[in-house]
Structure 1
Amino acid sequence: MTDSIRFPANFTWGVATSAFQIEGAADADGKGPSIWDTFSRNPANIKDGTNGDVACDHYNRYREDVALIASLGVDAYRFSMAWSRVQPAGKGAWNEKGFDFYKRLLDELDARGIASHLTLYHWDLPQGLQIDGGWMSRDTAHRFADYAHEVARRFGDRLATIATHNEPWCTANLGYGNAQFAPGVADKKQAIQVSHHLLLSHGLAMQSMRATNTEADLGIVLNLWTADPATDSEADRKLAALEWANSNEWFLDPLFKKRYPELSLQAHGANAPDIQEGDFDIIAQPIDFLGVNYYRREVMSAEDPPRKPVGGIGFTDMGWEIYPQGLTELLVKMKDEYPNLPPVYITENGMAAVDVVEDGQVADNQRIEYVRTHLETMKAAMDHGVDVRGYFLWSLMDNFEWNSGYAKRFGIVYVDYATQQRIPKASALWYRDFLAAQQRQRQAA
């Protein structure tokens, strides 16, 4: 069915990665340590005991990787900058060799006609700032704004979009709420305060980037999901409403309504964040786009043990229910709740699978079906009036999957970490052919 769907001629098609997950070169050319360097070098923190020191060696293989991107026929690439590569301490001196790497990457993408979509922060805070308090310190928000200004000043005319943060929910709740991610803190009150400082840093960065008169569209990327009650019980419905508020409205409301959801504030009680006068005016800066990362839904159950989703069409290797219709439901609900919602990009969507190389090929048919069905539900949301401008498949290639190490594979390109060989999976070839068919439809129209 997907082959017959026609997307707008100017729709953006891309693939996505993040710096820490692929670059490696952990201390090359003056790069400073990040919290993820520190966190992953403790084998107890990573399920397979590995770290991100080498990852996919993209720092040295970026030309090969850009050629791979180009071979897919995409017109855009979403990637992040490693803050500590360009400013080793997170404040003070800039590292020109670090900026030179990103300049070379942009040159390579430009030469291939691929638009660059940059994320400033994909979880890898410079360790120097962590020592000063990390995201618990309000000052870190101002240091982030300084970093954003410098990047926009240097590269703003070469980037299609700049996103401030990727998934601040994860930075706050996994980094500070349950210690699964760097910096490894488990304190609910800190997690909630960190979420506020992240939003504040976004607003300050928007102001600092606007001051450079950059031509890039500016926004933020959130991981969002629907929250469904497991049954029709009042208890389950209340849990679902609270989950929607805590995970989605907690970030959307400050951006678009200058407030936190009352349901969440009541639930957080004494853990609610310290908010200074004027913070919401800073946070709610106008944005040109909202990035939405969608992988699954939440099913909320008050039973003990809680009911699990039935997974009618299966689960990913992360144990996440495959629920493509949730993407339509999410986007339409956002459109209804936020009349001032800007254009949307689906900045991440994809799945982890148990991928095996056989005769030089990887037959990841479940991933093809995952992507195909999510493209259909994305188009259904567009048909309901949601202004979706582009889609970035996560991920270009297998990489360091955070606290799972190298055990989980999200890529449409297989990486043999022992040799760094890249092998396009069946999903990469499917995506290439799908995009070629879209191009033919445009030309025939």
Structure 2
Amino acid sequence: MIVKAFPQDFVWGVSTSAYQVEGAWNEDGKGESIWDRFCHTPYRIANGDTGDIACDHYHRMPEDVALMKELGVKGYRFSIAWTRIFPDGKGKVNPKGLDFYDRLVDELGKAGILANATLNHWDLPQALQDLGGWANRDTTDRFAEYARVMFDRLGDRVALWATHNEPVVVTSGYLGGSMAPGLADASVAYRVAHHLNLAHGKAVQVFRQGGYPGKIGIVLDLQNYIPESDSEADVLATQRMLDHSHHLFLDPIFKRQYPQGLMEWLGTIAPQPQEGDMEIISTPIDFLGLNYYFTLKVRYEPWGGLLKAAARPFSAPMWSQTEMGWGVHPEGLTAILLKLRNHYGNPDIYITENGTAAPDQPDEHGFVQDRERIAYLRRHLIAAHDAIQQGVNLRGYFVWSFMDNFEWALGYRPRFGIVRVDYATQKRIPKLSAYWYREVIRQNAVWE
């Protein structure tokens, strides 16, 4: 058995997001978000599920933080519901919303758990969507105002801030229709992508101007894409997928430009930056958050939509697909980390999401022996360690997710948590993986 020890200051954490766990969707002055509207629209979500109650984290937050402490967690990545702060996306601040996140950050501080806050985890205020949402350039200024309020209120206690979570998924809500706000208009989607980048840059500038003590970055969804074959058509199709899902966001931040090949492919619907936009977007960040789950093999496909590309799940030998139909390819995580080292200046990186939905079967006590999840997490931690050994500046790892929760358009069927939630009673029951992870944290190491 080989012990893979991590750096002494490595942050071991867990992740959630507001809409997926908080519930209390219309309590204490909270406004309606695009996900509230989307979930309350028939036939949008599997089984008609909604995030109205979710895991009731809004009311059970102290016990949830206490459970994190019991499991030895060193960092908690959560998101802030914009609609709790500005019910209409702008204008008057809702003090009860601020108070909730004040209490959360204070609870984390008392438990010795690092606070890692995300400002936008997809739940845009519906009032702003009614004005065009992220397609409206004005939303970038509203986001900067919201960010300033949160920095002022929590900046003395939050160690890590992220502007957006997975902006490519937010963009897909305007491109593919399966995520909120449920639109399908490519001519709007790439304007949305640019405005998300611009909003990010404006929020980072606000953070710099305020001299807050923490660090700020962004969280990107960087899955691994490899060509189905070495044919020119497959290689170019893979490049288009990478340009759309990776470089559309990485390149403006780190290189002050959009990927030229994608811009030529998109033509008139490509982002149209105004003078000064790229300077704002490329305001230096302190870290990059990386969400990694799977690897896809890509081929050229004439019927493959705008990008003329199709992708299929790809698993490493001895691995099958997950409950989500995703492949399992831990080496893909190492590949993405090395790409960031080689092509983007080797930034400080936190793996902000990594995990799997597994076929959890609770016993009569509600306990789940999720050995499949443990195997998944273990191999990905080994892959992360391999990247550290090759010079990647990886500073922490946050499991997705702390507990089972609302999984967007799939409702409550997939379970990603290392803690089981009995949705009928809201009882939390740590799974075998939670105790395994506690030992990893205690030893600051994983075993191969």
1:192-245 Cα offsets, whole Å, 9 max, x none, are 110000000000011112222110101111010221011222221121122122
Query: What's the counterpart of residue 327 of structure 1?
Result: 333
Distance in 1 separating the partners of 2:140 and 2:360: 40
SS in 1 for 2:399: strand
**1:417 paired to 2:423:** yes
SS in 2 for 1:408: coil
SS in 2 for 1:44: coil
Distance in 1 separating the partners of 2:228 and 2:272: 34
Distance in 2 separating the partners of 1:439 and 1:371: 12
Query: What's the counterpart of residue 375 of structure 1?
Result: 381
Distance in 1 separating the partners of 2:143 and 2:6: 36
Contact 1:116 1:159 in 2 (8 A): yes
Distance in 2 separating the partners of 1:75 and 1:101: 21
1:145-187 Cα offsets, whole Å, 9 max, x none, are 00001110111110011110000000002x1111111111011
Distance in 1 separating the partners of 2:311 and 2:214: 45
1:294-323 Cα offsets, whole Å, 9 max, x none, are 011221023689674453311111111111
**Superposition TM-score, scaled by structure 1 size:** 0.96
**1:343 paired to 2:348:** yes
Matched to 1:216, the amino acid is G
Query: What's the counterpart of residue 139 of structure 2?
Result: 140
Matched to 2:248, the amino acid is W
Query: What's the counterpart of residue 43 of structure 1?
Result: 42
Gaps of 5+ in 2: 304-309
Distance in 2 separating the partners of 1:83 and 1:141: 13
Structure 1 residues 269, 307: CA separation in 2 closer, same or farther (over 3 Å shift)?
closer
Distance in 1 separating the partners of 2:54 and 2:223: 29
Q: Deviation at 1:79?
A: 0.3
Contact 2:23 2:58 in 1 (8 A): yes
Query: What's the counterpart of residue 9 of structure 1?
Result: 8
1:322-349 Cα offsets, whole Å, 9 max, x none, are 110001111111211122x420100100
**1:391 paired to 2:397:** yes
Query: What's the counterpart of residue 23 of structure 1?
Result: 22
Q: Which shows bigger deviation, 74-83 or 240-249?
A: 240-249
Q: Which shows bigger deviation, 405-414 or 359-368?
A: 359-368
Matched to 2:390, the amino acid is H
**Superposition TM-score, scaled by structure 2 size:** 0.95
Structure 1 residues 309, 16: CA separation in 2 closer, same or farther (over 3 Å shift)?
closer
Contact 2:313 2:325 in 1 (8 A): no
Matched to 1:388, the amino acid is L
SS in 2 for 1:165: strand
- Where do residues 31-70 of structure 1 align in structure 2 (5 Å cutoff)? 31-70=30-69
**1:357 paired to 2:357:** no
Contact 1:153 1:209 in 2 (8 A): no
Contact 2:22 2:55 in 1 (8 A): yes
**Percent identity for Structure 1 against Structure 2:** 51
Q: Which shows bigger deviation, 227-236 or 424-433?
A: 227-236
Distance in 2 separating the partners of 1:127 and 1:335: 38
Matched to 2:170, the amino acid is T
Matched to 2:235, the amino acid is R
Q: Deviation at 1:107?
A: 1.4
SS in 2 for 1:110: helix
- Where do residues 166-181 of structure 1 align in structure 2 (5 Å cutoff)? 166-173=165-172, 175-181=173-179
- Where do residues 253-268 of structure 1 align in structure 2 (5 Å cutoff)? 253-268=251-266
Contact 1:230 1:309 in 2 (8 A): no
Distance in 2 separating the partners of 1:310 and 1:135: 33
SS in 2 for 1:28: coil
The ranges of structure 1 where at least 4 consecutive aligned residues each deviate by more than 6 angstroms after the TM superposition are none
SS in 2 for 1:386: coil
